[in-house]
Structure 1
């Protein structure tokens, strides 16, 4: 474990040096997230200018859920974004063979070779939205609440990563599963809203099939005493652990099936 920590630090420093060679591009990447996420928040604000609640959920509660989603997604986006390139950057051109001949875990290499600066902007916005909406909800932040927030955000990021890893692994059979990953990722937008505003079918999928519900709504519900979903929210770390375990086992199955593209 210590060896991999040292290796990741070397990868991380190298990537940061590369990004700092183009500082304007780095800053534009971070700033662009402010515009993108700000537009989404503005849309929610416009909706609530015409209504008081959506199925009993207020604007501040919606913002709080949105903040948890952004914080978790930013962790995945910053440190695991390279999973999106597995098919077109590694398998299709034959570069994955280079990864396999090194005496280091292949998944570790794929993950460590990229740090995405856009995730930093998302994390900052998530914190701003979180601490803007929390006071209006009457939330009190003691040591236990802060610890639980950290656990929930890390679990959220782990679930995002696990889902991406699972569907990225399809590239071992499909050569490039990016379209599938993108289609699945779009469903995560549903998790930024309360689950009870959707039909039973969508709630079932986002809870038991692709557990995006545990990336935003359920973790946020733990802090909202009147949400009615605190008993479900406590399972978030367990769901995160199981999701990562299943995705990694599927990854190992994909490695055994990998034959190369002949490029």
Structure 2
């Protein structure tokens, strides 16, 4: 309850600061929507040249992209730690964080939240609804709970991978280009893994499991029974990778000795 209370206090203060600059907030939301629209147009352009992509039709690929947007929006809202090394290690702000009686990772997540990114959830649901209607999909009552579990699992996979990368800063305070590269690799999870080489498919499933953020869980709702095992494993993968990230974080904090000069 203590952490829940802290979360709402952080969220309240964040909303106050964003509403103080309403035009800037609106422009940022519109730019995110434009970026998502560009990716959707890219899919439409590809299917203007072919009717199938690895056995998947246009509306199925659009549905996968829509599903991907939902966990990605949760990740983007609460796990913006791409500049952790430079801001908290190099500039020494980690010292400030460690003086407070709240877990350091929780504090940094709260400080870096961007709640306007949650509009991506609405966009994803709209895209899924459009594609699902074209495909004539039917859903059971329990699919809502499975959807929530898979979305949370996908968001935790993203969080686990990028938090783990951020912890490198505890062992090396030099700037690294791993984070931007990983963002680029994560884009592969938006599309069916069977269109890639088997090595890439293995990496996207077990090493950097971005496929569990998009295609695997979405395959369940698309009635792709051969993918069901992967789909139901999504929440488990999320817990595993997030637990690894927290372990690495706690180990890194113990090693941290301050900014120095």
Q: Do they superpose with TM above 0.5?
A: yes
Q: Following TM superposition, by how much is the alpha carbon of 1:234 offset from its aligned partner in structure 2, in angstroms?
A: 1.1
User: 8 Å contact 2:18–2:25 — kept in the other structure?
Assistant: yes
- State the alpha-carbon separation in 1 of the partners of residues 67 and 224 from structure 2: 18
Aligned to 1:33: 32
CA spacing shift, 1:28–1:184, aligned 2, 3 Å: same
User: 8 Å contact 2:164–2:248 — kept in the other structure?
Assistant: yes
- State the alpha-carbon separation in 2 of the partners of residues 254 and 104 from structure 1: 16
Measured against aligned partners, the alpha-carbon deviations of 1:54-81 in whole angstroms (never above 9, x if no partner) come to 1210011001111111111000101121
Aligned to 1:151: 149
Aligned to 2:164: 166
- Whether 1:260 and 2:258 are equivalent positions in the alignment is yes
Question: Which segments of 5 or more consecutive residues in structure 2 lack a partner in the other structure?
Answer: none
Aligned to 2:5: 6
Q: Report the TM-score when normalising by structure 2.
A: 0.96
User: 8 Å contact 2:95–2:259 — kept in the other structure?
Assistant: no
- Whether 1:49 and 2:32 are equivalent positions in the alignment is no
Question: Which segments of 5 or more consecutive residues in structure 1 lack a partner in the other structure?
Answer: none
- State the alpha-carbon separation in 1 of the partners of residues 99 and 118 from structure 2: 32
Q: Following TM superposition, by how much is the alpha carbon of 1:47 offset from its aligned partner in structure 2, in angstroms?
A: 1.1
* Of 87, 107, 113, the match for 1:115: 113
Once the two structures are superposed, the pairs formed by residues 12-91 of structure 1 within 5 Å of their partners are 12-81=11-80, 83-91=81-89
Select between 38-47 and 123-132 the one with higher mean Cα deviation.
123-132
Q: Following TM superposition, by how much is the alpha carbon of 1:227 offset from its aligned partner in structure 2, in angstroms?
A: 5.4
- State the alpha-carbon separation in 1 of the partners of residues 116 and 100 from structure 2: 29
- Whether 1:240 and 2:238 are equivalent positions in the alignment is yes
Q: Provide the aligned C-alpha RMSD in A.
A: 1.4
